[in-house]
Structure 1
């Protein structure tokens, strides 16, 4: 009997991973081009997945998203895809997505801080920092910019909107979990 429960749980998590990969693809299309790095809702989707899934499946969800885009499925911002996106100005952000999802989910799951909101805040901010660090360092290299310029165009304009997205992801994940909508938690 416990083997059946384990199989159902694993199947549910795989389905949810695919769902969150699709949600990320949809959120990527909500795009405002403000320079070499567009404003999108991907961060919201990534962190919603991170708060809803276990570390392994949060990572898997964003890895699937990246792999779909890498093989040319138009899941990235502006309905784009292909390996060229990984060597372009936004490649570092794309590479960071699965790593940030794993780290955020891991910290959120392990709960090193007993206060739920504080723990989630630390997890989310650390995950966002991972995306920013990979993103702007790679942007500097790919676009031949100084680190200062890459930070100015690849991080600074996004800090406030991304903090709002983190808060939205936290409150939505909490609401979904409290209602057991997806039978997670």
Structure 2
């Protein structure tokens, strides 16, 4: 495969994942301050399948689309108001979470066990950023921020980490076997 064709394929796959994150964000369970969404599952899939570089680029493209007004955030919302609102810390946390998840797997292996560890790490990074942001933006106490921005997402986070690890490794293997993904 030529180098320019490989780069084009990876750009297309990266853009596809930005769109997948936007679609998965619409799967929501409303909670008072921050809804449970499919975004974190999609972020885990992006990191597990694409790795640190392309996974992070897909998240940056997703966030840029939402920031400029394309309704890709939860509840078909968009704009800088969402990025700087109560859920903004979770959105910003997707960037280091995706990079660290992908980097971890690149340094260990793209196996189910390592993907599970990486996705759990990514979950905690996202929840940390979201909780700290929520504390300051919503002017909550640390306890209230922890109870609103961390605790409600733990069980679902572990389930999504498992699904992202399992499906991500399966899909990555198939894409690699068909030479649709760079190593």
Quote the residue 2:123 is aligned against: 128
Paired residues for 1:64-143 under 5 Å: 64-111=61-108, 116-143=111-138
State TM-score, norm by structure 1.
Answer: 0.91
CA distance in 2, matches of 1:64, 1:166: 22
Compute the displacement of 1:85 (Å).
0.9
User: Does the 8 Å CA contact 1:28/1:78 hold for their aligned counterparts?
Assistant: yes
- Alignment partner of 2:56 out of 46, 55, 59: 59
User: Does structure 2 retain, via aligned residues, the 8 Å contact 1:132–1:154?
Assistant: yes
**Which of 156, 164, 170 is residue 175 of structure 1 equivalent to?**
170
Task: For structure 1, list consecutive stretches of 5 or more residues without a partner in the other structure.
Answer: none
**Cα distance in 2 for residues equivalent to 1:116 and 1:58:** 17
Alignment match, 1:12: 9
Determine the C-alpha separation between the residues in 2 that align with 1:60 and 1:91: 18
CA distance in 1, matches of 2:39, 2:145: 20
The whole-number CA distance in structure 1 between the counterparts of 2:55 and 2:173 is: 19
Aligned CA distance change for structure 1 residues 6 and 54 (closer, same or farther; 3 Å): farther
Aligned to 2:30: 33
> 2:43 maps to what in 1?
46
Aligned CA-pair RMSD: 1.6
Q: Equivalences for 1:145-156 in 2 at 5 Å?
A: 145-156=140-151
The unaligned stretches of length 5 or more in structure 2 are: none
